[in-house]
Structure 1
Amino acid sequence: MSTSIRNDVRRNRYTIALDDELAGFADYRLEGSRIVFTRTEVDPARRQSGLAGRLVEYALDDVRTSSALTVVPQCTFVAHFIDEHPDYQELVDRG
């Protein structure tokens, strides 16, 4: 089974697909120099497979390497992920 994760810039969301079938997404909005993660959702049948964590990790790594944006984790899953992975704290603006 192939997994692909990408930033769908037109829809302001990161997506994760399994064999080209959408399995989850992390929505965001841009506010000046901030990226506000508003919602993360994974297909209920696939929630125990770690897809949400892989998706959020990819999104945060992408923000870190391709922008100077500050992360606002409005989504509780993203906030919890950052709390559990302190190496992402440097990206956060909990304002």
Structure 2
Amino acid sequence: MDIRPEHDAAGHRFVLYADGDSAVISEYFDIDRRRNFFRTVTLGQYRGRGLAAVLTEYALDDTRRKGLSVVPSCWFVREFIETNAAAYGDLLTSAEPHV
């Protein structure tokens, strides 16, 4: 399978293409130097192949390059960061400022 992750900045999403088809989409919004990932969707026929993890890694690497922190509202992104804390734990922030 030929896979290709892309950043669709205008659409505020990352897309992973598998054999030319849109297989995984991760949506976000940016505010105050934070990127909030709020939804990751894998189309049915592509589930269980680790493609969401490939796209999440790509998206988090892009986020780091841009100097942004991450608010993982999406459960998948949150669990990915927790599982890979050594590589991505430093990107975490909270959605609300601490008082």
TM-score by length of 1: 0.94
> How much does 1:2 deviate?
1.4
| Structure with more helix by fraction | 1
Please say which structure displays the higher CA radius of gyration: 2
C-alpha distance in 2 between matches for 1:46 and 1:21 = 10
The residue matched to 1:5 in structure 2 has which SS? Answer: strand
Which amino acid in 1 is paired with 2:62? D
% identity of equivalent residues: 35
Aligned position for 1:77: 76
> How much does 1:13 deviate?
0.2
CA RMSD of aligned residues (A): 0.9
Provide structure 2 residue ranges, at least 5 long, that are not aligned to the other structure: none
Which amino acid in 1 is paired with 2:82? D
What count of residue pairs does the alignment treat as equivalent?
A: 94
Equivalences for residues 13-92 of structure 1 within 5 A:
13-65=13-65, 67-86=66-85, 87-92=87-92
